[in-house]
């Protein structure tokens, strides 16, 4: 930590505050897809050990993965629109 560089107060923080909406979409996408994949792996592991799993747990990936894909497509569209606006002006 001794070699940490300090940024002047006039510079913006690293790109996280630039597009708050895109950041929210990106983290939501990662969270939804991550939870869905984690739930699938835990369900498979529990079933491999012979433990009964509640049916609700099996539904999480079925609902979460399509929502994650829709969020990813939305993020892609917003990125394309933002880049097009930056290139124009």
- Tally of structural domains, the chain: 1
Say how far apart CA 89 and CA 80 lie, in whole Å: 15
pTM: 0.76
Tell me if 52 is assigned to some domain: yes
- Helices then strands, each counted (H, E), the chain: 2, 0
Range of the structural domain that residue 64 is part of: 20-88
Tell me if 64 is assigned to some domain: yes
Rg (CA), the chain: 20
Q: What is the pLDDT along the chain (89 residues), one digit of tens a residue?
A: 566 666 555 655 555 667 899 999 999 999 999 999 999 999 999 999 999 989 999 899 999 999 999 999 999 999 999 999 989 87
């Amino acid at each position: 930590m001794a070699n940490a560089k300090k940024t002047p107060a006039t510079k913006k923080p690293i790109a996280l505050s630039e597009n708050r909406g895109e950041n929210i979409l990106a983290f939501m996408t990662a969270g939804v897809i991550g939870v869905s994949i984690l739930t699938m792996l835990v369900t498979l592991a529990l079933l491999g050990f012979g433990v009964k799993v509640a049916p609700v747990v099996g539904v999480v990936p079925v609902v979460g993965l399509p929502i994650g894909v829709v969020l990813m497509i939305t993020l892609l569209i917003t990125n394309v629109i933002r880049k097009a606006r930056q290139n124009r002006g």
